[in-house]
Amino acid sequence: MTTPQILSFAVIFIMMAALVWGRYRYDLVAAAALLSALAVGIVPFDEAFSGFSDDIVVIVGSALLVSAGIARSGIMEVAIRRFAPNLSGVRSQLALLVIVVTILSAFVKNIGALAIMIPIAFQFARRSSVSPSIFLMPMAFGSLLGGLMTQVGTSPNVVVSRVREELTGTAFTMFDFTPVGAALAAAGTIFLVFFYWLLPVREKLGGSVNEAIDIKNYLTEARIVRDSTVLGKTVADLMKLSGGDAIVTSILRNRTMRMTPLPDVVLKMNDILLLEGDPGALDRLVSQGKLSVTGSRASGDDTAGELVAIEAVIGENSPLIGWTAQRLALYHRFNVNLLAVSRHGERPDRRLAEIQLRLGDVIVLQGNAATIPEILRELGCLPLAERAILLGSVRKGVVPVTILALAMVATALGLLPVSVAFFTAAVGMVLFKVIPVRDVYQSLDGPILVMLAVLIPVSDSLRSTGATGVIAGELAKLGTILPAPGALMLILVAAMAVTPFLNNAATVLVMAPIAAAFAGDLGYRPEAFLMAVAIGAGCDFLTPIGHQCNTLVMGPGGYRFSDYPRLGLPLSFLVVIVAVPMLMIVWPMK
């Protein structure tokens, strides 16, 4: 090997060791690797930051934003309630998520299928009181397995079809990949459902101050209106929407009659419900039940500015102390709505507007994003660290799902590249106000995107220095002494090993000609070897950097670099064990 090739292997080996060690955060390790590559000369200075314009970074960033838009819309919660209302076991929830992602990934871009289902995973995790990390990595692996089943399922299948056409004059067809791909998807799905416990339970890394705020006893009130989905239904039906994290403390009927909220009480038009719970549960009750939390008060005008909900603590000099929102005419004087009140150690039993506010009460105020900071100062309230309070916000229903569906159809029909389609979808989420402008950059996972961007030129040094050619030469020497199954396994494992450091399409472009020549030298037909390359390139289960689906779940799942091989290594062995005999049966080598 030449000196640049040795240096390229050395930088990547040290980087991988540091990532597995986990002492330093992954984006810092990646940045150090880039600087090292620049220092030893294996990455040119003018290529140092080429990764920031790479399609993979755009795709992952856009998918994060699109997934956040779908989660914010609440439509996934409605889907769960309708199609899986009683699914409470972790294993059954995981099975549903993995199977749906796997099947979807056979026909649409796997990152799109994964983006649709991530919000449902978070809902299941909340319902079962478990970490989302239990679901997210198995879903990502399921999306990779699903992509193996059809020609359009993943980029390696498309590329290897073109290579076969160049070599033999006949390309692989849409469902030539299905027999082997379906067997792998089935075996992999069973493995993920029964062996998910190999994965350590993680919490999202990099928690901010706002995530430490744990206020569960907010009191709010909501009115049953004509469009409410729970009109004519019982209190028990309403409580199902909260997942057990909120309760109805009282019902006011005909303005004066106070009723005990027994489970069988039927909700009627204009009933006022006093609700208590954490902000997320209250939001689910209000949004899915289509209740009104602002009554006849105006909820804002899109032209007047963006509405926000802010949590704040009443300070010692606040003019609110000793007053009720009703007596103070809070809305008419300050143009803000009081949405909820939390008081330590006490449950107020009055209507929201009639609660006499005290020093230390935590309140949720809704108002114009541009003016509410000044109003908080005037009211002597100290804002808490900003977090997503959706109570009382306007939802866009099916708009985000429609945007994502259009993006996936455009990619499936070849109308747009994946990067352009998903970037367009992300911009659409903002233009249609699915995600407020102020929340856009909070939805992007900066450390993940930086890690991807700086590792792309480092990984590409294997190709630019000719190190991949060295690997190919050694494979050819080894293959001559192996039997047919061993030779096929060698190509499959080699493609699996290379794909974390090249993108999967580049892996096929590098490995497919080697595999075809390899097969010819040994007197075998090339189809099984080409298929092995496609499978290996599409099955990166060992790192978060080889495929954008693995990267997409790393931040939300709080995973460490070393977590991926814990579940991915045995899955990779399973893929090899199933794929080799299936390839030899479906694609005879002689």
Under 8 Å between Cβ of 382 and 365 = no
Same-domain status, 347 and 231? no
- Per DSSP, the three-state class of 272 is strand
For 544-584, how does the pLDDT look when each residue is reduced to its tens digit (9 = 90+)?
877 878 888 888 888 888 899 999 999 999 999 999 999 99
Same-domain status, 145 and 77? yes
Which candidate, 530, 450, 540, 553, places its Cα nearest to that of 503?
540
**Residue-number span of the structural domain to which 178 is assigned:** 60-203+398-446
322 DSSP 8-state letter:
T
Rg (Cα) of the chain, in Å, rounded? Answer: 28
> How confident is the model at residue 175, as a pLDDT?
81
Q: What does the alpha-carbon distance between residue 455 and residue 415 come to, in Å, rounded to a whole number? A: 29
Is 525 domain-assigned? no
Contacts of 132 (CB under 8 A, 6+ apart): 121, 122, 125, 204, 556, 557
CATH number for position 324: 3.30.70.1450
Q: What does the alpha-carbon distance between residue 576 and residue 188 come to, in Å, rounded to a whole number? A: 11
Is 589 domain-assigned? no
Is 461 domain-assigned? no
> How confident is the model at residue 285, as a pLDDT?
80
Is 212 domain-assigned? no
Which secondary structure element, helix H or strand E, spans residue 11, and what is its range?
helix 3-21
Same-domain status, 64 and 185? yes
For 128-163, how does the pLDDT look when each residue is reduced to its tens digit (9 = 90+)?
888 889 999 999 999 999 989 887 677 778 778 877
Q: What does the alpha-carbon distance between residue 359 and residue 379 come to, in Å, rounded to a whole number? A: 12
Give the N- to C-terminal CA distance of the chain in Å, as an integer: 35
Same-domain status, 311 and 284? no
Same-domain status, 166 and 257? no
Same-domain status, 251 and 147? no
> How confident is the model at residue 302, as a pLDDT?
41
Same-domain status, 360 and 245? no
Q: What does the alpha-carbon distance between residue 134 and residue 245 come to, in Å, rounded to a whole number? A: 21
Q: Which residue reads 């070897």 in tokens?
A: 529
Same-domain status, 403 and 365? no
Same-domain status, 174 and 77? yes
Q: What does the alpha-carbon distance between residue 113 and residue 443 come to, in Å, rounded to a whole number? A: 18
pLDDT tens, residue order, the chain (590 aa): 789 889 988 988 888 788 777 788 878 888 999 999 999 999 999 888 888 888 778 877 887 788 778 767 766 666 666 666 667 788 999 999 999 899 888 877 777 778 778 878 887 887 788 888 999 999 999 999 998 988 767 777 877 887 787 777 787 877 888 999 999 999 999 999 999 999 888 876 544 444 445 566 788 888 888 888 888 888 888 887 776 678 888 888 887 788 888 888 899 988 888 888 877 778 778 877 888 876 545 444 444 456 777 888 898 888 899 888 888 888 888 888 888 888 877 777 778 888 889 888 888 888 887 888 888 888 888 887 555 555 655 556 678 888 888 887 887 777 888 788 889 989 998 888 888 777 788 777 777 788 778 877 887 787 788 776 677 677 767 767 778 888 889 889 988 887 877 667 667 766 777 787 777 777 888 889 999 999 998 888 988 877 878 888 888 888 888 899 999 999 999 999 999 999 999 988 87
Same-domain status, 122 and 257? no
Q: How many domains does the chain have?
A: 3
Q: Quick one: residue 434, left, alpha or beta (phi over 0 = left, psi -120 to 50 = alpha)?
A: alpha
Which secondary structure element, helix H or strand E, spans residue 462, and what is its range?
helix 446-464
Domain end: 408, 430, 446, which one?
A: 446
Same-domain status, 176 and 284? no
> How confident is the model at residue 214, as a pLDDT?
54
Is 532 domain-assigned? no
Is 491 domain-assigned? no
Residues 12/16/17/23 CA torsion (nearest 10 deg): 120
State the alpha helices, DSSP H only, in 271-394.
279-289, 325-328, 330-334, 372-378
Contacts of 425 (CB under 8 A, 6+ apart): 62, 66, 403, 404, 406, 407
Is 146 domain-assigned? yes
Contacts of 234 (CB under 8 A, 6+ apart): 263, 264, 265, 266, 267
Same-domain status, 90 and 180? yes
Is 277 domain-assigned? yes
Which secondary structure element, helix H or strand E, spans residue 221, and what is its range?
strand 218-223
